[in-house]
Structure 1
Amino acid sequence: MDIIILGGGVIGTTTAYYLAKAGAKVTVIDRQSDVAMEASFANAGQISPGYSTPWAAPSIPMKAVKWLMQKHAPLAITPDGTGFQLAWMKQMLSHCNAERYEINKERMMRVSEYSRDCIRALRDEIGIGYEHRTGGTVQLFRKPAQIQAMHLDTKVLEECGVPYEILDADGLIKAEPALAYATAPLLGGLRLPNDETGDCNLFTKRLAEHCKTLGVEFKFNTVIDKIIFDNQKVTGVVAGGETLTADGFVLALGSYSRVMAKDLGLDLPVYPVKGYSLTVPIVDETRTPVSTVLDETYKIAITRFDNRIRVGGMAELSGFNLSLNPARRATLEMVTKSLFDGGDLPKAEFWTGLRPMTPDGTPIIGATKYDNLFINTGHGTLGWTMACGSGKLLCDIIMGQPTQIKIDGLNIDRYK
């Protein structure tokens, strides 16, 4: 079976790996010069199944109003001139209730937990290294209300069989010793010991090299112009001045998936949510995290690599805007200084990328109304967390194999 994958980020590349391993002949097309050059390039570095939480939570509408009036807010909204932005926000708000939150969180955790198992198996099988750590994630609380809200999450964690530890202020320091030097008020936290970390860009590049040994062809610097279809079947892709044909096609273009799908009559509710990161060289290891600390107040994650700290977070709804906002850098630096001051912030690399987010937080994985077109997109801030599980799941669907987790509620049909 010949498969063409549109998109060479971590989602497209992991999908290529599993399909090639299953015996398919795979071609990956991407407009960039290498894999993982867009949303996968400098993300927060978390592989956090335990923190697979929908942005659409019961408390979000009230929080959003407050955030929009704060200087160092995790959310910013700038009208992008499209009706889709308003429609997407309205749809997201419709999920901000306890019933939908639990449904969406279960779906997200189902994929994320499976994905964590898949990446561990992949790591053992091919010996891939990507500055990974297995020290878990600490969600840090500065306010009493955050500790109270934590119990909604722990209820779902228990239902899904995910281990966790509730930490007081002393427990935080035991888990992350450098927090003893923090200047921020720390009340407690939630530790998820099964979470991991790693450099997503490095992982994707090394996996792509392994994919090549399995026969995967990567067509870089190739712009995808359109998808050709006839009735209920995709017949080809026009890219780089030529028409490419295959037995099956995978749409894994991240935030750009919606644009490509529109001409096919597919309405993908995937919005480009802009995020930022700093990559900071370490100068004092005693004042850096052991693994990942997620500051619940600012929705910013600080993750330890070998000799660097990755600080990532925030959400801007501003369309396909890739400008670097210095105010966002100031927020990232402020949070980093208040928790871990062991990095050389003036030398930090500042980056932004667009995370493909659905209004319910759950990715879109599975078949479409076209017999040979499949979707793997909409992972939002959890693309790295969900990548291997999403790739393996879609591979099994395409190859007609039994899936190892249930696929209910994951494909595009849930939006009908």
Structure 2
Amino acid sequence: MRVIVLGGGLLGVASAYYLQQLGHEVTVIDRHAAPAAKARGMASAPSRPPLAPPPARSLCRTAIDGLRRRLHRVSGYLTGVRHRPAARLEHMVRLATYSRETVHELRKEAGVSQDLRSAGWMRVYTDAKAFEAFTHSVRRLQALGCSLQLLSPEQAIGIEPSLQHLHGHLAGAAFTPEDTSRDPAAFAASLAFMCRAAGVRFLMNHSVVQLHARDGRIDHVELANADGERSLLRADAYVLALGTGSVPHAQALGIAMPLRRMREYSIVLPIQDMAGAPQVMLNDRHERLRIRRIETPEGERLRVCCTVRLATDAQDLPDSTHFARMLARVETLLPGVVDPSRAEFSSTLHARSASGMPLIGRTPVRNLFLNTAPGAQGWVNACGAGKSIARIVSGLSPEVEFAFAKG
């Protein structure tokens, strides 16, 4: 069967690889010059405009919309369309665990290199009540295959000595030696190479203009190259893996993709105390920061990220306030480790699905399938999602229990 994967990000490349392994003739289309460009640090500036800000609304309208959302949420719980937070967490852990196992199989069978410097991932709590609340869900997560262990403050500092400055303030931590999110660049490059070796065709520097439907199916896809020249391609099946860019195409076909607007703030900081910098990826639960070492052409740096949902009052705060809070928290957690005077700041506006889960599975359009996770952090689900959608397209049952779209 001929399959076109619309989107050459890591999700699209993983989908293409597993589709090819199941015997399909696969073509990947993407606007960038190289597959998995974002994961490999090779992405160009987006060609599509950023998400437009929401229109101003009156207090009455805001209250009505809030009530409508609550009623819709309750109705979804009762009908089974929406998943409660506990069930949603279980679905996400299952997918992440399955994806991690899939990555290990891929590395073993195909010789994909592993980042030997990966030292694990640690969730850090300085709030005793928050840590106690989290401990209640750990047993359930472990039963689902999550290799997570609770740590006392002393144990956490033993694994990550950079937390020594928090002695007396650290309530506890959760640790896993698995850290697939440390540096996806090498993995993405290897996976793209394997796709080409298997026969996947990449049509780069092409943007998706429109999906043309006929009789409940996609008849063809209209493309434009870098010079604006149009062309048409046909296939037996199509996988929509354009991230946020999937939304206008889905909506044009009458497929609902409700989103939440998000802004991710990122700071890259030179490390001035290598011995004091963390080896593991830290997730600070107090300020929702993700802190990890990265490799850059200038040497090792510390990247600090924070994601804010714009449907909250936080959207009224200027970017400078968010950056100042992040820097202050880094100085509290890791005093003297970085040089804030040489910090590089950036922020990105993007979106996530309203459910918070990746959108994977069938659509009402018979030969159109989804594999997109607007705003999903990292790449932990890429291989699990790619292998699952490949099986769904092929008429096979997925190997993992997840809330796949039924179409």
User: TM-score category by the smaller chain?
Assistant: 0.7 to 0.9
Matched, 1:289 2:278: yes
Q: Give the match for residue 372 of structure 1.
A: 367
Is 1:265 aligned with 2:254?
Answer: yes
The residue identity in structure 1 corresponding to 2:29 is I
CA contact (8 A) 1:279 1:311 kept: yes
The residue correspondences of 1:31-42 to structure 2 (distance < 5 A) are 31-37=31-37
Question: Contact 2:358–2:376 (CA<8 Å) still a contact in 1?
Answer: no
Cα distance in 1 between the residues matched to 2:170 and 2:3: 50
The answer for the alignment partner of 2:381 in structure 1 is: 386
Q: Which stretch has the larger CA shift, 279-288 or 217-226?
A: 279-288
The 1:163/1:383 distance shift into structure 2, 3 A limit, reads closer
TM-score by length of 2: 0.80
Match of 1:208 in 2: 192
C-alpha distance in 1, partners of 2:231/2:92?
A: 38
TM-score (norm 1): 0.79
1:400 aligns with 2:395: yes
Does structure 1 retain, via aligned residues, the 8 Å contact 2:181–2:378? no
Q: Give the whole-Å Cα distance in 2 for the aligned partners of 1:88 and 1:21.
A: 48
Aligned ranges 1:5-44 → 2 under 5 Å:
5-37=5-37
Q: Quote how far apart the aligned CAs of 1:172 are.
A: 1.8
Post-superposition Cα deviations, 1:235-290, rounded to whole Å, max 9, x if no partner, equal 11111111111111111111222211001110012334221223344443211112
Question: Greater CA radius of gyration, 1 or 2?
Answer: 2
1:87 Cα offset (Å)? 7.7
1:411 aligns with 2:390: no
Corresponding residue SS for 1:405: coil
Report the alpha carbon displacement of residue 293 of structure 1 after superposing the two structures with TM.
Answer: 0.9
Distance in 2 of aligned mates of 1:139 and 1:207: 29
Shift of 1:37: 4.4
1:208 Cα offset (Å): 1.8
Name the SS for the 1:94 alignment partner: helix
Asked if 2 retains the 8 angstrom alpha-carbon contact of 1:363 and 1:380, the reply is: no
1:130/1:199 contact within 8 Å kept: no
* Structure 1 residue 192 displacement after superposition: 2.7
Give the Å deviation of 1:182. Answer: 4.7
> In the alignment, does 2:231 pair up with 1:242?
yes
Instruction: Give the CA deviation at 1:157.
Output: 1.0
1:310 aligns with 2:303: yes
Distance 1:361 1:355 in 2: 13
1:62 maps to what in 2? none
Equivalent position SS for 2:188:
helix
Q: Is the 8 A contact 1:132 1:196 kept in 2?
A: no
Q: Deviation at 1:367? A: 1.2
Task: Give the CA deviation at 1:104.
Answer: 0.6
Q: Report the identity percentage.
A: 29
Distance 1:91 1:129 in 2: 47
Change (3 A) 1:88 1:346: farther
State the match for 1:254 in structure 2. 243
Number of the residue aligned with 1:334: 328
**1:34-59: CA deviations, max 9, x gaps?**
334458859xxxxxxxxxxxxxxxxx
Alpha-carbon distance in 2 for matches of 1:125, 1:82 = 54
For residue 207 of structure 1, give the secondary structure of its aligned residue in structure 2.
Answer: helix
- What SS class does the counterpart of residue 206 from structure 2 fall into? coil
Displacement of 1:348 in angstroms is: 4.4
Q: Take 1:354 and 1:206, find their aligned partners in 2: how far apart are those partners?
A: 29
Aligned position for 1:167: 151
- 1:100 counterpart residue number: 84
Secondary structure, in 3 states, of the residue corresponding to 2:380? helix
Alpha-carbon separation, structure 2, partners of 1:333 and 1:157: 32
- Provide the secondary structure at the position in 1 that maps to 2:187: helix
What per-residue deviation string (whole Å, max 9, x for no partner) do you get for residues 327-360 of structure 1? Answer: 4333333332222343444444434345542222
Moved more, 158-167 or 233-242: 158-167
Moved more, 251-260 or 198-207: 198-207
Cα distance in 1 for residues equivalent to 2:353 and 2:68: 10
Q: Report what 1:114 is aligned to.
A: 98
Relative contact order, higher structure (CA 8 A, sep 6+): 1
Give 1:145 deviation, angstroms: 2.0
The answer on whether the counterparts of 1:108 and 1:361 sit within 8 Å (CA) in structure 2 is: no
Which amino acid is 2:35 matched to? V
Give, in angstroms, the shift of residue 317 of structure 1: 2.2
Q: What amino acid is aligned across from residue 17 of structure 1 in structure 2? A: Y
How far apart are the structure 1 equivalents of 2:329 and 2:203? 40
Contact 1:365 1:412 in 2 (8 A): no
Distance 1:87 1:5 in 2: 37
Q: Deviations over 1:153-207 (max 9, x none)?
A: 3143144143432222212211211111359932211223344442234432342
1:80 aligns with 2:54: yes
Distance across 1 between alignment mates of 2:149 and 2:27 = 44
Structure 2 residue 149 is matched with structure 1 residue 157: no
SS state at 1:223 partner: strand
Higher mean displacement: 176-185 or 372-381: 176-185
Q: Counterpart of 2:376 in 1: which secondary structure?
A: helix
- RMSD of Structure 2 on Structure 1 (CA): 3.4
Cα contact 2:28–2:202 (8 A) shared by 1: yes
Distance 2:346 2:104 in 1: 28
